[in-house]
């Protein structure tokens, strides 16, 4: 049972373009939605995160858009650069007792062409 | 990596042998997690711990056990490794101020 669905699986963008990755979730108890960036041979690193009380969060060239009614959220990378080439994972979390467990999407491999 | 060290970084083992992966943290975090990463599946939770000797199962716990006898160490054991357990394993910690932080991973190959 995949609770967080991510698309597309791969994405190729020209330098300077906009990269858009989409995720949809099912569990309405999720209350924290982070995005992770992963380079080959490294662990995922937190990129940006949002909570469902806001519809958008921007940090530099990275923006999360959140649609609570549609149960969807997306990552926009403006002015994409070759250094942004990596695998991106969306995730969702709910607080279970005192622990917090992340449910991940399947990942998007982004390639930014120079 | 917020003081998270995974060992070994790479391991090749034979089917049926026991394997233990170690996660060590230096910042006294309460919550620790083991995930596995496979193509097309993202990362899936195996087990997690919310304190010394306090652990619970995740989504894909079958064939795995964990132990946490000290705050800083969280061990993942494959009692009898199978080829389906070939994967990259990540340890993570959770802290309120900065969420999840992952280690660099252990690449395990079961032949």
**pLDDT tens per residue, range A24-62:** 999 998 989 999 999 999 999 999 999 989 999 999 999
**pLDDT tens per residue, range B36-74:** 999 888 899 999 999 999 999 999 999 999 999 999 999
CB contact under 8 A, A46 and B50: no
B34 touches chain A (CB under 8 A): no
CB contact under 8 A, B104 and A89: no
pLDDT grade, residue B98 (50/70/90)?
confident
Across the interface, which of A97, A100, A107 has its CB nearest the CB of B94? A100
A97: nearest CA in chain B? Answer: B50
In this prediction, residue B41 carries a pLDDT of: 86
A60-65: long-range pairs with CB below 8 Å, 24+: A62/A35, A64/A33, A64/A35
Query: What average pLDDT does chain B have?
Result: 93
- Cis-peptide, bond into residue A30, ω within 30° of zero: no
Q: Which helix (H) or strand (E) holds B2?
A: none
To probe the interface with B, which of A101, A105, A108 has the most B CB atoms within 10 Å? Answer: A101
Residues of B in contact with A33 (CB under 8 A): none
Q: What is the CA radius of gyration of chain A?
A: 14
Residues of A in contact with B29 (CB under 8 A): none
Query: What average pLDDT does chain A have?
Result: 93
B4: nearest CA in chain A? Answer: A43
- For residue A38, the distance in angstroms to the closest alpha carbon of chain B comes to 10
In this prediction, residue B69 carries a pLDDT of: 96
Cα separation values, B69 from A20, A52, B66, Å: 44, 37, 10
Residues of A in contact with B94 (CB under 8 A): 99-100
């Amino acid at each position: 049972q995949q609770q967080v669905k991510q698309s597309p699986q791969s994405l190729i963008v020209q330098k300077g373009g906009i990269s858009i990755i989409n995720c949809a979730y099912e569990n309405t108890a999720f209350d924290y939605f982070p995005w992770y960036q992963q380079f080959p041979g490294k662990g995922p690193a937190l990129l940006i995160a949002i909570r469902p009380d806001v519809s958008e969060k921007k940090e530099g060239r990275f923006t999360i858009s959140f649609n609570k009614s549609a149960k969807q959220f997306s990552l926009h990378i403006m002015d994409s650069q070759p250094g942004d080439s990596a695998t991106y994972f969306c995730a969702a979390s709910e607080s279970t007792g005192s622990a917090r467990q992340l449910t991940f999407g399947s990942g998007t491999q982004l390639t930014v062409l120079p | 990596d917020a003081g998270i060290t995974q060992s070994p970084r790479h391991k090749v083992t034979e089917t049926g042998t026991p394997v233990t992966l170690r996660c060590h943290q230096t910042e006294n975090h309460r919550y620790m997690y083991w995930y596995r990463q496979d193509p097309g599946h993202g990362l899936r939770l195996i087990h997690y711990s919310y304190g010394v000797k306090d652990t619970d199962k995740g989504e894909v716990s079958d064939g795995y056990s964990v132990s946490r006898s000290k705050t800083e160490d969280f061990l993942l054991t494959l009692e009898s490794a199978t080829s389906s357990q070939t994967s990259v394993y990540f340890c993570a910690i959770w802290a309120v101020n900065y969420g999840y932080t992952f280690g660099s991973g252990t690449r395990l190959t079961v032949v």
